[in-house]
Structure 1
Amino acid sequence: MIFRRALQRELASSAGATFTVLFTVLLTWTLIAILGRAAGGKVASGDVLALIAFRSTELLPTILILTGFIAVVATITRSYRDSEMVVWFASGQSLLGWIRPVLTFGLPLVALVAALSLVVTPWAKMKSAEFTERFQKREDLKRVAPGQFRESSSSDRVFFVERSTEGATVVQNVFVSSVNGKDHSVVVAKEGVIETDDKGGQFLVLSNGRRYQGVPGQADFQSMEFERYSMRVATQVPVLGADLPVSALSTPALLAAPNRYTMSELLGRISAPIVCLVLILLAIPLGFVNPRAGSSANLILALLIFFTYNNLVRLAEASVKQGKAAFGMAWWPLHLAMILVVLALFAWRLNVNGRYHPLVLLNSWKRRRLAGRAQPAARTEDTAA
């Protein structure tokens, strides 16, 4: 009981430190990426904090899986390095005795990963897509940030405003460059405002400006002044949620519309808790280390296994999405193979004193080699005597 309590505290402490480091690194990376999108005019600057929160929620399952895996590996590696495992084995205990306390620590983590993967992450992706879509479908003029050139959603106009007032509905010192086939026109105005008609059409109404059309220097170049000029900027009110990606659909929605795209996404969601459980069990035999050697090799190997396993899961998802494999035959073989690897590693560690264990064979070969070197030396001494 004392051992289990101490182990639970150490696992929780190691997991907390690992999660803090991983979450901080990924949060910083997410912050940089979203700020770059905001600076490039792809998302609204007011939505940055919300998008960072949604993106962080999307990354939580991967962070928690890696946290649990590294925490168990690091704890068992430290026990080997400090010779605590020698005392454990000398007292008649087996490596299998670590399974129960490790599962006590890991099963709540697996349940949390399952909840995040199946429920929370799709919701976060849906909200993130809605925020992005809402900005992309805003009226062209409302997407413009004062002092910056912005392209319209139809890619045929470029807007520039010096400043905006009244919640960005009224802009001042407007510049609009439009291209329609071979025709090119430039409109400058002192003020502009968005108006909507009863059919859903949206217009940019400019006042006190000038319009130039054609190529300067040619005979068909035109210039005109106006007090009021209307320019259509959207044909109808945008409908949000019509272009949500498959990854943003809820799990019941995926089950209600089975096809290769939804089944591929479902495979990735159900794989997350399975990967978490398998890796936590794999960490027990993987944590072995020679007390006289360094322990960094175990962590490097753990990272390689984690990324390889995740990439193989993504490969299975891609095979289902491309129609190369059915969902029923794609989700379980990889996990079954990893479970067999876990069982093989346990058998290898439990049979460490067996006759045919690689370490036993290696030590036997070294003893025979040393004995073979000692025999000629003894014969040389007898000849000299």
Structure 2
Amino acid sequence: MVIRRYLVRQVVSTSLVVIALLTLIMMGGQLIKNFGRAALGRIDASVLFSIIGYRLPEFLTLIIPLGFFIGLMLVFGRLYVDHEMAVLNGSGVSRNRLARLLVPLTVIYLAVQAVLMVWVAPWGIRQFEQLTTSQAVRTGFDLVRPREFISSGPYTIYAGALSDDRKNLKDIFFYQRAVREGKPDVMILAKEATRVQMPNDTASVIDLIQGRRYEIFPDSARYSQAEFQSYRLRLENNNEAKFESNNVEALSFLKLVKNWSDPVVASELGWRIFVPFSLIVALMLASALSEVSPRQGRYLKLFPALLIFASLIVALMAIRTRITRDEIGIWAYPAVLLCYAIAAAIFSRKQKLAPKLKKQIQRVRF
């Protein structure tokens, strides 16, 4: 159908421009933040764009619904302002029928959103955490600055002095947090440290001179202490050390399904399943709220409508928090979506409902 192709082309081009603009704004802020971390020596500057790339799918899960809604509002508003909607209505094409013509496009956006939320975004979070953790392993001693604590992942390193070639350190403090429950934290104090170049070994190998090594068990008074004259410390890099994230947002969909009885896991599982359906609500709201007169301009109702749709996202986030605290069940996600869909249906029928309500009010008065 010609009308469908026209609408799809307009909505896709407008929504993609909005999504690209919002992505540029959000990722620009993240890039500036990570530039600051690199300047402080917390991460290597060479991995900045890798970090941004891994975080991009996570940001897109929030940007796509918002960009799609704004694109719909702008396209429908232009149809009213340019009198195209009046021509279409005169030809027997109603506003609701135009919305139905966009259902296939909405389903495509919904599928993209679902793939991002179920698979791509968790994978990106896992890769991001793995990269930031490996930075402490691979470049922890490379990024050491005199009399400054460098902390990333499970490692915290301090050196009182540093040689110009960055191979000799004085007054070393090294702390390694246990990555598994039941394992002790390790703390090492040494007078001197020297980097050792090992052929065909990408790990950081350090020879510590004259110090003490402590093993500390969290939430317990137990600890062990050992003195040493020379101690070789080997920090495995990312290729050799197995990494497993404990962040629920980074868990795979299958792991969430297996542990859905946990309230925290249930909140994340419901978030991934039901949030993509907000795109259908976006289509219903945009169709109902975009009506303007040619004199008003298509931007008149954009901000109020944007607040209404943003309130839906905020409500879903609030539900996510409540489910995490085990205050409500996962059923709250579809309940909120259904409430907004009903409200959108009521808004879309306001032209028919308003005269009827006016007549009822006049009857009550007389």
- Common fold, TM-score beyond 0.5? yes
Counterpart secondary structure, 2:230: strand
Superposition pairs of residues 288-299 of structure 1, within 5 angstroms: 288-299=291-302
> 1:86-110: per-residue Cα shift (whole Å, max 9, x none)?
2222233322211222213221111
Tell whether 2:167 aligns with 1:172.
yes
Q: Distance in 1 between the 2:29 and 2:338 partners?
A: 34
Tell me the residue number matched to 1:382: none
Q: 1:144 aligned to 2:143? A: yes
Taking structure 2 as the reference length, what is the TM-score of the superposition? 0.77
Structure 2: state its 5+ residue gaps: 176-188, 199-203, 212-227
Distance (Å, rounded) in 2 between the aligned partners of 1:179 and 1:89? 73
2:349 is paired with a residue whose SS is helix
CA distance in structure 2 between the aligned counterparts of 1:321 and 1:143, rounded to whole angstroms? 40
Partner of 1:125: 125
Cα distance change on mapping 1:143 and 1:7 into 2, 3 Å: same
CA distance in 2, matches of 1:31, 1:179: 29
Q: For the aligned residues, what is the CA RMSD?
A: 3.6
Asked if 2 retains the 8 angstrom alpha-carbon contact of 1:278 and 1:338, the reply is yes
Find the aligned partners of 2:301 and 2:347 in 1 and give their Cα distance: 14
1:80 equivalent to 2:75? Answer: no
Q: Are residues 357 and 94 of structure 1, via their aligned partners in 2, closer, same or farther at CA, if it must alter by over 3 Å? A: farther
Matched-pair contact (CA < 8 Å) for 1:195–1:203: yes
- Deviation track 1:197-243 (CA, whole Å, cap 9, x = no partner) reads xxxxx973268xx99xxxxxxxxxxxxxxxx9635657999954344
Deviations 1:260-296 (A, max 9, x none): 1111111211122111221122111111112111332
CA offset at residue 176 of structure 1?
2.8
Tell me how far apart the structure 2 counterparts of residues 267 and 291 of structure 1 sit (CA, whole Å). 42
1:262 corresponds to which of 239, 260, 265: 265
Q: Does the alignment pair 1:304 with 2:304?
A: no
Q: Answer yes or no: is the 8 Å Cα contact 2:194–2:206 preserved in 1.
A: yes
The sequence identity of aligned pairs, in percent, is: 22
Change (3 A) 1:105 1:158: same
Amino acid of the structure 2 residue aligned with 1:119: W
Aligned match of 1:318: 321
How far the C-alpha of 1:343 sits from its partner, in A, is 1.2
Q: Give the distance between the partners of 2:160 and 2:306, measured in 1 at CA.
A: 48
1:298-319: CA deviation from partner (whole Å, max 9, x where unpaired): 2212321232111110111111
Q: Is the 8 A contact 1:149 1:158 kept in 2?
A: yes
Q: Which amino acid is the alignment partner of residue 118 of structure 2?
A: L
Equivalent residue of 1:290, what SS? Answer: coil
User: Contact (CA 8 Å) 1:55, 1:128: kept in 2 or not?
Assistant: yes
Task: For 2:230 and 2:270, locate their aligned partners in 1 and report how far apart those are by CA, in whole Å.
Answer: 51
Is the counterpart of residue 31 in structure 1 residue 27 in structure 2?
no
255 and 41 in structure 1: CA distance in 2 versus 1, 3 angstrom threshold: farther
Question: Which of 270, 274, 282 is the matching residue for 1:279?
Answer: 282
Q: Could you say if the C-alpha distance between residues 156 and 142 of structure 1 is closer, same or farther in structure 2, counting changes exceeding 3 Å?
A: closer
Which residue in 2 is equivalent to 1:244?
246
Deviations for 1:320-378, whole angstroms, at most 9, x for unmatched residues? 10011122x322211110111121112214x17x62367x999x9xxxxxxxxxxxxxx
Structure 1 counterpart SS, 2:54: helix
**How many residues align structurally?**
325
Alpha-carbon spacing, 1:102–1:186, altered in 2? closer, same or farther (3 Å): same
1:158 equivalent in alignment to 2:153: no
In structure 1, what is the Cα distance between the partners aligned to 2:167 and 2:325? 51
SS of residue matched to 1:142: coil
Residues 319 and 325 in structure 1, CA contact (< 8 A), matched pair in contact too: yes
Q: 4+ residue runs of structure 1 moved beyond 6 angstroms?
A: 234-238
Counterpart in 1 of 2:4?
4
Asked if structure 1 preserves the Cα contact closer than 8 Å seen for 2:140 and 2:157, the reply is no
Unaligned runs of 5+ in 1: 165-170, 197-201, 212-227, 365-385
Q: Which residue of 1 aligns with 2:219?
A: none
Letter in 2 for 1:142: F
Counterpart secondary structure, 1:230? strand
Q: Contact 1:271–1:313 (CA<8 Å) still a contact in 2?
A: no
